[in-house]
Amino acid sequence: MKHLYPFLALALLSGFYVERKPLEAEFKDSAAYRWLNKKVYDKRPLDDMEHLDNWRSFTSSGVQVVDARKVITTPDSSSSVATIELSKQFVHEGSQSLLMTTPTRLNGPAPLNGRGWGRSGIRRIFNGEDWTKYNRISIWIYPDLPGFYTTALDAQLYNDGKEKLPAIFGQEGQTSWVLKNHQWNHVVWEISNVARDKVTSFEISYGLSGSYPGEADKIRFYFDQLDLEKVDPDKIEGWDVWKGRISYPHTGYQTGAQKSAIISNIDAKIFRLIDQDSHKVVLSKPVANVSSAIGKFQVMDFSEIRKPGNYVLVAGDVVTKPFRIGDDVYERTVWKALNFFYAERCGIAIPGIHGNEHNDWVCTHGNRKIVTNGGWHDAGDLSQSFEGTEEITAALFSMAEKLHQRDNNPELYDRVLEEAKWGLDWILKNNFGDGYRNTGSLNSRRTNNIIGDDDDPIATAQNSPMANFEASGVEAQAYRVLKDSDPDLAAYALKTAESDWQFALAGMPFVKPSKDIWRGTFDSNNVEDELPSQAILASVNLWKATGDQQYEKLATSLAPVIMNAQQQQRTDWDTPLTGFFYTTTTKERILHYCHRGREQAPAMALTALCNAFPNHHDWIKWYASVTLYAEYLKTIAKYSAPYDMMPASIYTDTEYRHVPESRQPSFRQQVLQGISLGKDHYLRIFPVWMDYRGNFGTILPQAQALASAGQLRGDLAAEGLATHQLEWIIGRNPFAESTMYGEGYDFVPLYSPSSGDMVGGLPVGIQTRGDADAPYWPVQAMWTYKEIWGHPVTNWIWLLSAIEGPAMVQGLADAPIIFEELHTHQRITVSATSGHFKTTIPEGEYKVTSGGRTQTQTFLPGSSYELECRPVEMLNYTVSKQTDANGVVTIRLTAQGNGSHHFSFRTDNLTLDDASKEINLQPGKTAQLIWHGHIGEMNKPWVAVAIPDNKLAERKELKGTAWDKD
């Protein structure tokens, strides 16, 4: 059987052919439901579809648009393939509706770019009308698409007034509607943000993308009752919280997490937290007034509440919907993310979304071909991305590995593993075995499954070192997870991983850094920081699987490339910073992304090295680099308080010269809208971007880096900041809306024209308007900011694999163990059985007491700990530092315990008088050791790590600078 891999046998053994119905969202919790139930203050009928005056049909192919008007009695003789007529078959109001009929594709081969044949639609002509009195369009649409599960239409407004539409970047003045087939859909589009002072036309169009087997090749849409309306508009822009709302994470808060909510312009001095089940007030507390670079806010902090339950917040007369506090609040979002991935599967029938499809999607390599369907569709279209599939698979295996270690949720573990295997199958099968593989391709077409005709999407195999390292890394990871449960598949994955690694290594010398500042951020092979990072991650995974020293040798040799691309010296700006990365060791350009970020790669690579090779002589250098980067992220996050959304990056006022000339004015203005740091450097809270907008792809990778660094350093603040990025996405934002479809409240329709609404889907993210640097979230649903993409959901799963759930704590004890949280003084008592205990503890800082002895311990969410709590063995120590005016650092170590103990320091940029010292401790007494040190480079931070008795797992960190005196 094993010789059949990676094709039939994998499918048979893995069990991922389980058919399940995708989850459905609770419509009453959606923004769409709220929109349809808004009070309409004024209304103006635009067209009742009782005649065809002013209506045209059109078909666009590429950039050319041709119009055709059809009267019932006159045959269509134009070049438009769409026809329009009046119909009595489906009517919402009056006696007739407007019927558009169109084929699903044009004659002739599909475009080579993988997209569809064009668009067919209807256009209503207006004579430069002023619509500014109204702010919403309303229309009724009845799709009649035999055999189709999902369908969508796009709408476009044309304006010839002060602001022209269509706009330069396309998304303004456009929206997309996902429709239910064979029924009347009432769709509304708020246009308060859309220029409408001189409207010349309004059009609705369908993408000519072809048909799957069983779907009709000619389709119909009925339209009725086009109106303008006036309603209270949604908040769509700015940092202040939507008046009358409370900004909070709708999913809830983990038990030990920091818990806060934000309001603006609400007359409330006191807020209340109410237990939803008992209806009792559990906390009444003053509202705090806070200010930051983005404005003034009112904050309600209730972190002291750690009792699991269902709650609501009340401020003045504003009340939230119910939310949970508990150890497992994020688990339901994992299930919803899994639902999204399942619904995005390619090459298999998904009930309600599509049948078995894309069996004619081919990747060629010389005379050889692979049918490349499988994996997951990548976005709102039907594209495939190797990087996307690899990252989804890696995230799922990371989650599976954690669930397996905890062994307390077998149902979720099995489901995560099933989806991970689906991705692994695609990675393994799309490999020609000589370094060439399918690295993905664009596709918007619904094809007929017949290989060789004119609708086939065709990709060409590439030999990419980046892709091969990515493949080898996830294949080695799969081996580690599957070796016990599926040894044949695990062995095949490991064999392929070693082969892919060799091909990647052979190709590395031919990869050159890009000088293209704008597009270089999209091409992993052209960013010098990313390829070494991925090579390290792959090599560490292979070393864990095999112990082969060649993998350790490559991984450790590449670390200097990353560290030499980091700003480790204090900058000479008005606001000096350290810790950020450049794209290359030449330090010509600061590393930043505008859409799909991979900023986690350098920090996660160095963290992986620290964890894999703790005795390496460069360990402290890796550790210090991670520390500098994490502290940089924590520093810049203060600019977006109290949301604590991660700012995008630092930009210079010269970068615009390196982008295409047409983009230069906008690029420069966006940079200048950032926060000035001095010397022509600016901090942008949102990225500098053009067409590709939405910041979830930048903040979630930063959160991954924070979580990884936090676990390495025992840094509870870093884990909390990482969690705030999740909270921003699910309601703790200025709009107080969840953006995960089907999760929380007021979730909005997303741009998903090919696959329809999918519970668990995330958009690319909140954007900005024009050149501004403030959040912008208009009602319209358009690419890319409201487009569903795989990478935000991937990063969501990846991050939760690190920080979801309480800490898992076990160890040795002779007596009951008392865990007392230092801030709330709440206690958890655990008994030991046969000298051993195992429990879960909410994140936080604790005093741990057993048998009369005490130690302090920080527990991070989702992490695991081994404690020694027997009185005779228990050791407790703290470290502190002081820097004098001459840059001399004094370190004090205070310890309690029993017997002789050895303490040593590993330092970066700090030389101590004696790296290690001994101390003899007596029960009930405190002893102290003192070190004196000298800072090496005065303009660079220093880092020191104390290690007791050569036990690196019990380390404690100190850090400091010569310019910040204690």
pLDDT in tens, 760-782: 999 999 999 999 999 999 999 99
Eight-class DSSP state of 38: S
Backbone dihedral angles phi then psi of residue 760, each to the nearest 5 degrees: 95, -5
Q: Above 60 in pLDDT, residue 861? A: yes
Same domain, 271 and 208: no
Please report the pLDDT score of residue 16 as a whole number: 56
- Asked if residue 353 is part of any domain, the answer here is no
Report the DSSP beta bridge partners of residue 889. Answer: 883, 933
Please report the pLDDT score of residue 76 as a whole number: 37
Please report the pLDDT score of residue 798 as a whole number: 97
Please report the pLDDT score of residue 793 as a whole number: 98
CATH number at 860 reads 2.60.40.3390
Q: Above 90 in pLDDT, residue 647? A: yes
Same domain, 724 and 811: no
Q: Tell me which of 758, 790, 822 is where a domain ends.
A: 790
- Asked if residue 585 is part of any domain, the answer here is no
Same domain, 824 and 921: no
Helix-helix angle 530-546:600-612, to 10 degrees: 30
Q: Choose the weakest-confidence range: 143-152, 507-516, 521-530, 897-906.
A: 521-530
* Residue 212 belongs to domain spanning: 39-230
Backbone dihedral angles phi then psi of residue 557, each to the nearest 5 degrees: -70, -25
CATH number at 758 reads 2.60.40.10
Mean pLDDT score, 332-360: 96
- Asked if residue 31 is part of any domain, the answer here is no
The percentage of the chain sitting over the pLDDT mark of 70, rounded to a whole number, equals 94
Mean pLDDT score, 872-885: 94
Q: Above 80 in pLDDT, residue 689? A: yes
CATH number at 928 reads 2.60.40.2410
Burial environment of residue 642 by CB neighbours within 10 A (0 to 12, 13 to 18, 19 or more): buried
Helix (H, G, I), strand (E, B) or coil at 634: helix
| Residue given tokens 């809270």 in the structure block | 685
- Asked if residue 655 is part of any domain, the answer here is no
Helix (H, G, I), strand (E, B) or coil at 673: coil
Gap between the Cα atoms of 760 and 789, Å rounded: 11
CA distances from 405 to 398, 486, 804 (A): 11, 17, 14
Q: Above 60 in pLDDT, residue 392? A: yes
H or E element at residue 65:
strand 64-68
Mean pLDDT score, 462-491: 97
Q: Above 50 in pLDDT, residue 10? A: no
Please report the pLDDT score of residue 74 as a whole number: 32
Q: Is the link from the previous residue into 6 a cis peptide, with omega within 30 of 0?
A: yes
Helix, strand, coil % over all residues of the chain, rounded to 5: 25, 30, 45
pLDDT in tens, 582-627: 998 999 999 999 988 999 999 999 999 999 999 999 999 999 999 9
- Asked if residue 921 is part of any domain, the answer here is yes
Same domain, 632 and 602: yes
- Asked if residue 857 is part of any domain, the answer here is yes
Same domain, 740 and 816: no
Q: 610 is written with which tokens?
A: 């620290």
Gap between the Cα atoms of 598 and 588, Å rounded: 19
Mean pLDDT score, 879-903: 94
Same domain, 819 and 899: no
Mean pLDDT score, 399-423: 97
Q: Band of the pLDDT at 887, cuts 50, 70, 90?
A: confident
Please report the pLDDT score of residue 520 as a whole number: 32
Measured from the Cβ of residue 24, the count of other Cβ atoms closer than 10 Å reads 11
Same domain, 164 and 83: yes
Q: Above 70 in pLDDT, residue 936? A: yes
Q: Above 90 in pLDDT, residue 756? A: yes
Report the DSSP beta bridge partners of residue 933. Answer: 889, 912
Q: Tell me which of 209, 230, 251 is where a domain ends.
A: 230
Q: Band of the pLDDT at 805, cuts 50, 70, 90?
A: very high
Gap between the Cα atoms of 110 and 104, Å rounded: 12
Contact of 222 with 99, CB cutoff 8 Å = yes
The percentage of the chain sitting over the pLDDT mark of 90, rounded to a whole number, equals 90
Same domain, 180 and 277: no
pLDDT in tens, 625-634: 999 999 999 9
Please report the pLDDT score of residue 397 as a whole number: 98
pTM of the shown model: 0.95
- Asked if residue 273 is part of any domain, the answer here is yes
Q: Band of the pLDDT at 167, cuts 50, 70, 90?
A: confident
Same domain, 843 and 882: no
Nearest to 933, CA basis, from 907, 951, 954:
907
Contact of 599 with 530, CB cutoff 8 Å = no
Q: How many domains does the chain have?
A: 4
Same domain, 226 and 258: no
pLDDT in tens, 59-97: 998 533 333 333 333 333 347 999 999 999 999 999 999
Nearest to 152, CA basis, from 116, 125, 124, 196:
116
Q: 917 is written with which tokens?
A: 């010292």
Q: Tell me which of 761, 790, 819 is where a domain ends.
A: 790
Q: Above 60 in pLDDT, residue 578? A: yes
DSSP for 811-861? EE-SS-EEEEETTT--EEEE--BTTEEEEEE-SEEEEEEETTEEEEEEE-T
- Asked if residue 3 is part of any domain, the answer here is no
Gap between the Cα atoms of 196 and 229, Å rounded: 13
Nearest to 711, CA basis, from 796, 807, 786:
807
Q: 633 is written with which tokens?
A: 């992220």
Q: Band of the pLDDT at 280, cuts 50, 70, 90?
A: very high
Same domain, 201 and 266: no
Amino acid letter, residue 277: D
Please report the pLDDT score of residue 595 as a whole number: 87
- The pLDDT mean for the chain works out to 93
Please report the pLDDT score of residue 169 as a whole number: 67
Around 335, how many Cα atoms within 13 Å sit in the side-chain half-sphere?
15
Burial environment of residue 73 by CB neighbours within 10 A (0 to 12, 13 to 18, 19 or more): exposed
CA end-to-end distance (rounded Å), the chain: 66
Gap between the Cα atoms of 10 and 23, Å rounded: 26
Same domain, 849 and 906: no
Q: Above 50 in pLDDT, residue 516? A: no
Please report the pLDDT score of residue 77 as a whole number: 34
Q: Above 90 in pLDDT, residue 11? A: no
pLDDT in tens, 892-916: 999 999 999 999 999 999 999 988 9
Q: Band of the pLDDT at 522, cuts 50, 70, 90?
A: very low
